[in-house]
């Protein structure tokens, strides 16, 4: 394995992330949310124009995770105005899970947060996404709160808010 993590710097890379996001979301959220909600959320949050807007208007940064030349994962982060750093997305293609790549991704998230001068990292995770919750706990996140968020289209996100002190 030769894993690299690089900030997404151009539109072509972001288009590749959008394609990967759709693939992963349509696999990993089956059984957690409905197929209709997956389609809706991919379009609303992970399509190329949606991610372009997040980067341009909301200070998001996307990072591409590759094994050699193979784009196999991504994450997105955003510095908040206070001392928190938001981990917005953390996704790995299924064939690359269980290999220690997630740890490298999270270490990079923590490094980015520290270099932005932040004191904690927080995220939201679906309450029924058991594996992701276990991984976050293992790495040192704790459940700080819960949130039910109306995302339009008749859908809600039913999440834990988890936090990691740097
Ligand atoms: C979440 C995700 C990125 C984690 O990646 P992963 O490859 O499955 O995670 P890993 O197997 O590398 O596990 C990371 C750590 O958690 C630990 N872990 C994994 N499963 C665990 C469990 N059930 N209980 C406790 N610890 C666990 C691992 O041992 C590892 O710890 P270590 O580095 O100390 O050995 C990946 O599963 C994924 O992309 N899932 C689908 C998308 C998703 O749900 N993303 C999160 C949305 S909020």
- Rounded to an integer, the average pLDDT of 91-113 is 98
Cα(109) to ligand 1 centroid in Å equals 15
Q: Quick: pLDDT tens for 56-78.
A: 999 999 999 999 999 999 999 99
Pocket lining: 134 vs ligand 1, CB cutoff 6 Å:
yes
For residue 92, give the ligand 1 atom closest to its CA: 39
CB of 101 within 6 A of ligand 1: the answer is yes
pLDDT-derived band of residue 155, with 50, 70 and 90 as boundaries?
Answer: very high
Cβ-based neighbour number of residue 160 at 10 Å: 21
The confidence score (pLDDT) of residue 132 equals: 97
Return the structure tokens found at 25.
């979301």
61: domain CATH number is: 3.40.630.30
Average pLDDT of the segment spanning 132-160: 97
Q: How many CB atoms lie within 10 A of CB 144?
A: 13
Cα–ligand 1 centroid distance for 87 (angstroms): 15
pLDDT in tens, 16-69: 999 999 999 999 999 999 999 999 999 999 999 999 999 999 999 999 999 999
- Residue 21 C-beta-side C-alpha neighbours within 13 Å: 27
Task: Tell me how many domains the chain contains.
Answer: 1
- Rounded to two decimals, the pTM is 0.96
Range of the domain at 60: 3-165
């Amino acid at each position: 394995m030769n894993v690299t993590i690089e900030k997404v710097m151009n539109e072509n890379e972001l288009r590749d992330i959008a394609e990967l996001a759709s693939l992963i979301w349509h696999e990993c959220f089956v059984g957690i949310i409905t197929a209709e909600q997956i389609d809706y959320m991919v379009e609303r949050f992970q399509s190329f124009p949606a991610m372009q807007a997040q980067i341009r208007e909301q200070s998001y940064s996307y990072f591409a995770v590759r094994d050699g030349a193979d784009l196999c994962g991504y994450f997105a982060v955003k510095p908040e105005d206070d001392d928190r750093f938001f981990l917005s997305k953390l996704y790995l293609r299924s064939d690359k899970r269980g290999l220690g790549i997630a740890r490298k991704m999270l270490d990079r998230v923590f490094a980015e947060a520290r270099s932005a001068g932040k004191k904690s990292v927080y995220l939201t995770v679906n309450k029924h996404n058991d594996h992701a919750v276990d991984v976050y706990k293992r790495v040192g996140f704790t459940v700080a709160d819960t949130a039910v968020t109306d995302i339009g289209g008749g859908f809600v996100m039913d999440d834990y808010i988890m936090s990691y002190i740097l």
